[in-house]
Structure 1
Amino acid sequence: MTYPVADTRVTYAAGATEASAVVLHVEPLPDGRRAVLLDTTSAHPVDAGWPDQGADRAVLRTATVEIALLDCIVGATDGTSLHLGQQIPVPKGTEGWAFVVAHIVSSDAAVSVGDAVQVMVDAGVRARTSAGHTACHLASLALNLAVADRWKKQPRPDALGRPDFDGTAIDVSLIGENTSTDTYRLGKSLRKKGFITEGFDEALPSLTSAINATLADWVATDAAVHIDRAGDALTDRRYWVCDLPGAAARIPCGGTHASRLGELGRLRVTLGLHDVQGTSVLTMVTTAG
């Protein structure tokens, strides 16, 4: 069984929803499905390290059939076996390993090594998910600004030079269509880093208003958004870049995004504070449209 020797070339970072590709490898999986590895893809996969954005809805189109993707996952191979998702035993970029996009299809999918295929992504779902991801980055920066006066110590700065509450306290981030949900732990570890949690619950209404006002101002600029990338390989570094008023924000990100802030429409957040096993957890839901 022959495995790819190079990382999958990905085009979704540049906004592509279609790609011409060649099938390099097809492998049966323990659950009965099959993993199809291509030389190139426009389908965004779920990343093992930070699975905030899900897989694109897409199909593989051959000369004779159209095959629905059941999932799309980052994988890795050392030339002897294929590891998917959380089973990958080495960090990205490890020498001697190829990092690949595994297109998961049904067991009876008519696809073979050497086939020419078209990867066709649902452009509507992609656009809505991209809006949700861009909204997530903007909301995190606006949240950092709103709570900037709650630090007794100087934490690391965010992409705009402000105290990075989001990067310090984030627990889980999930991107959906025109939405994102981020959760932050306001526990002992965060307090040791200098964040003041006293009175946070009472401050939620004013924080929400401040964040939404900032987001409205930013969206009104219709600033351009683009992805800086070192190359087209799956493991090449990529950054979300947006020229916000007064400064350009640059955030490491492997996801897909809107091309301008005006595409987001009305952007709003809601904040909620909950107790989870004795730790206060802040939830921020961001909605675009």
Structure 2
Amino acid sequence: MNSTVVTFPAGQVSGRSRIVGTVPVGERHGLVVSETPFHPLDHTWPDQPADRGTIGGLPVVDCVTGAWSDGEIHLGADIPARRGAEGWQWLVVHVTDAPLPVGESVELAVDPAYRAALSAGHTACHLAALALNAALADRWRKEPALDALGRPDFDQTAITSSRIEPDASVDVYRLGKSLRKKGFTADGLDTALAEVAAAANDRLKEWVAADAPVRLDVPGPELTARRTWHCSLPEGEASIACGGTHVTRTSELGAVTVELALEEGTTLTMRTTVTR
């Protein structure tokens, strides 16, 4: 069995392929095809949910990452190898309630509206992270790692989780001792949240209005290819490693706004909303 070829990075939402393997998923059935437009949940960083749609006319109730070696398919968190490890074939596993036979040629169709909403949420998530970095840039006492626009990278330094939703995202940051040691000060942040959010929202408004092009750098067709998100913003070319799906221009987002909440002084949550 070979690694699954994926077409979702190019924006594809349909295709035809042959079933090359199956695996039990509880009482359900995991179907593997040679090529798919479906974006699966990545268990190593489960930010973007799996696509919805159909395979061979059957509803895809889940879509997960699998890995094959020595004749056995492992799923999600049960995969005993690092993503992309040699000697393993990396698979998109379409989970259905009914089986389909190996060797059958099937139509695959992704729900285009749900995909579009997730793509908008994911692009907005990256833009919001960069805007938050800019809004918090004056809170660093030491020289930290920088983001693609040359600003202190609060997002990648402090993030603990990220979740993409339809036309939205939720990012959670830890403002703990290790962040303070790296030079970030959260003193007075609780009373400055509205000001920080306003600065980020002003920048997001400019970026959406700029109609900046968005693209994915795709070095190969396989699931584990290390893809990179790019956006040509007025300040420069932004890039972030990313395996998800995206819009093609910032203007497609309509409007992007963030809301910030600080809990117990140590957990900062940013909720990003797209209004298309």
The structure 2 residue matched to 1:191, chosen from 157, 168, 180, is 180
Paired position in structure 2 for 1:47: 42
Listed one character per residue, the Cα deviations across residues 57-89 of structure 1 (whole Å, up to 9, x for unaligned) are 11012xxxx100110001101132111111111
Number of positions where the alignment pairs a residue of Structure 1 with one of Structure 2: 275
Higher mean Cα deviation, 77-86 or 131-140?
Answer: 77-86
Cα drift, residue 95 of structure 1:
1.4
**Cα distance, 1:110 vs. partner?**
4.2
Matches within 5 A, 1:145-160: 145-160=134-149
Task: Letter of the 2:65 partner, please give it.
Answer: V
Give the counterpart letter for 2:55 in structure 1.
L
| 2:54 corresponds to which of 49, 55, 59 | 59
- 1:99 corresponds in structure 2 to 90
Check whether the contact 2:41–2:50 (CA below 8 A) recurs between aligned residues. Answer: yes
Residues 1:235 and 2:231 aligned together: no
- Matches of 1:51 and 1:118, distance apart in 2: 26
Residue identity in the other structure for 2:35: T
Aligned with 2:21 (options 8, 12, 25)? 25
Secondary structure of residue in 1 paired with 2:266: strand
The one-letter code matched in structure 2 to 1:97 is W
The runs of 4+ residues in structure 1 deviating greater than 3 Å are none
**1:231 partner SS:** coil
Answering whether residue 134 of structure 2 is matched by residue 134 of structure 1, we say no
Give the match for residue 168 of structure 1: 157
Unmatched runs of 5 consecutive residues or more in structure 1? none
Q: Sequence identity, in percent? A: 48
- For residues 48 and 110 of structure 1, the distance between their equivalents in structure 2, rounded to whole angstroms, comes to 24
Is 1:250 aligned to residue 239 of structure 2? yes
Letter in 1 for 2:4: T
Which residue in 2 is equivalent to 1:213?
202
Give the Cα–Cα distance (whole angstroms) in 2 for the partners of residues 95 and 269 of structure 1. Answer: 41
Q: Relative to structure 1, is the Cα distance of residues 34 and 110 closer, same or farther in structure 2, using a 3 angstrom cutoff?
A: closer
Q: Counterpart of 1:22 in structure 2: which amino acid?
A: R
Provide the C-alpha distance between the structure 1 equivalents of 2:84 and 2:166, rounded to a whole number of angstroms. Answer: 30
- Does residue 1:75 correspond to 2:66, yes or no? yes
TM norm structure 2: 0.98
Q: CA deviation digits over 1:97-151, x for unaligned, max 9? A: 0010011111xx2411001011100000100110000000000000000001111
How many angstroms does 1:161 deviate by? Answer: 1.4
Q: Distance in 2 between matches of 1:88 and 1:144?
A: 34
Write the distance in 2 (CA, Å) between the matches of 1:156 and 1:10.
32
Partner SS for 1:190: helix
Determine if contact 2:212/2:231 at 8 Å carries over to the other structure: yes
Tell me if structure 1 keeps the 8 A contact 2:124–2:274: yes
In structure 2, the residue matched to 1:282 is 268
Cα distance per residue 1:138-189 (max 9 Å; x no partner)? 0000000000111111111112111100000001100001000001010111
Q: C-alpha separation between the residues in 2 aligned to 1:17 and 1:262?
A: 21
TM-score, length basis structure 1: 0.93
Q: CA deviation at 1:96?
A: 1.0
CA RMSD of aligned residues (A): 0.9
In the aligned structure 2, how far is the partner of 1:79 from the partner of 1:140? 41
Q: 1:86 aligned to 2:62?
A: no
